[in-house]
Structure 1
Amino acid sequence: MRRALFGALAGTCATMAMTAAMRRLHRALPADQRYPLPPREITSRTLPAPDARSATTAAILAHFGFGALAGAVYGCLPRPRPAGFVYGPAVWAVSYLGWVPAGRILAPADDHPGRRNALMLLVHVVWGTVLSVALDELNKAAEGGFGPGRSLDAEPQEAKDG
């Protein structure tokens, strides 16, 4: 349970970094490619909102919720986990080439402009990298950064003694 919780916390931190990168890189896209980014597109199609402010709030909550969920999955993966900079783009691929188009929510990524895909891949590298670093920091805090404790990845003492 703690692995999932730490992964979700790390995923939330990583989503903040990703969001900052997305906002900045979105402004650098050509004008005709500055249509809403996938978090807003997905929530607009799946969670209809009565007004623009509610739609923005729904997009932010869904984006951070998904980041936390994907982080929780990462936290539960057995060691050695894949590198974060690999896991992030894998989440992108499974989402934007997999379940999102399969659910008829958005067209697959390869139907979108290359620069938008490059933006999304890059921010998923950011997300995965920050996820991995944040999870390592949480595990180090559990090992004693805030006092006595042990790593989430350490074997229970009785398993070592047995």
Structure 2
Amino acid sequence: MMRNLVNGAVGGALATAVYSAMLMAADRAGLLEEPPPRRFARLTLSGRDKPRRGENVLGTIAHFAFGSSCGSMLGLLSAGQRVPVPIGTAYGLLVWYFGYQGLAPSIGAYPPLPKDRAGRQAALLAGHLLWGTALALALNRLRTEKAPMTAGLAPRAREQVRRIMPTPEPVPAR
């Protein structure tokens, strides 16, 4: 269980790095006005109306902490099993929805989805889908148990696979 938690945290951090690169591109394209990690950090510091010293660092730390904690949740839920990539992508969709429909509007960082700019939300949605996909790939890569593909199949199906692809007999030593 602890390994799944740690793998999820590491996978979440790796996926957050990928997502952060996309955020930088969206910011340079003018889609964000202000990257979400910086905006969230500014809300926690006094004097919200103007940039504060350290808000970029605080925002980056908070962003990776949030990404790692969300990754830990999927790591625990997966119980060390392979995570299908579409499940990771859907998980990224859930994180985006609850973050930008629930958390961000409740703390005044962004308006609710229907009232926000479509370009910003499209960039954030794409980033979270990318984050979830990268998380699934990272979790699958970090798994310690590399069971053969047939390990999870039902016994009858496994037997059919063995008939088609029999296990080679060991060659006796001479």
Does the TM-score normalized on the shorter chain lie above 0.5?
A: yes
Instruction: Tell me the matched-pair count.
Output: 142
Q: Is the Cα contact below 8 Å between 1:12 and 1:68 reproduced in 2?
A: yes
CA 1:38–1:110: 2 relative to 1, 3 Å: farther
Matched-pair identity in %? 34
User: Partner letter of residue 15 of structure 1?
Assistant: T
- Does residue 38 of the first structure (1) align with residue 42 of the second (2)? no
TM-align CA RMSD: 2.6
Aligned to 1:67: 67
* Separation of aligned partners in 1, 2:109 and 2:100: 10
- Does residue 125 of the first structure (1) align with residue 129 of the second (2)? yes
* Separation of aligned partners in 1, 2:44 and 2:70: 19
- Does residue 23 of the first structure (1) align with residue 27 of the second (2)? no
Q: Rg bigger for which structure?
A: 2
Give the CA deviation at 1:105: 4.3
Q: Is the Cα contact below 8 Å between 2:93 and 2:132 reproduced in 1?
A: yes
Which structure 1 residue ranges, 4+ long, deviate > 6 Å from structure 2? none
CA 1:138–1:56: 2 relative to 1, 3 Å: same
Secondary structure, counterpart of 1:77 in structure 2: helix
Give the CA deviation at 1:63: 0.4
* Separation of aligned partners in 1, 2:53 and 2:107: 25
Q: Is the Cα contact below 8 Å between 1:46 and 1:105 reproduced in 2?
A: no
Q: Which ranges of structure 1 fall in alignment gaps of 5 or more residues? A: 145-149, 156-162
Aligned to 1:96: 100
Give the CA deviation at 1:97: 0.3
Aligned to 2:3: 2
* Separation of aligned partners in 2, 1:24 and 1:48: 28
* Separation of aligned partners in 1, 2:20 and 2:6: 21
Give the CA deviation at 1:35: 1.7
User: Partner letter of residue 72 of structure 2?
Assistant: A
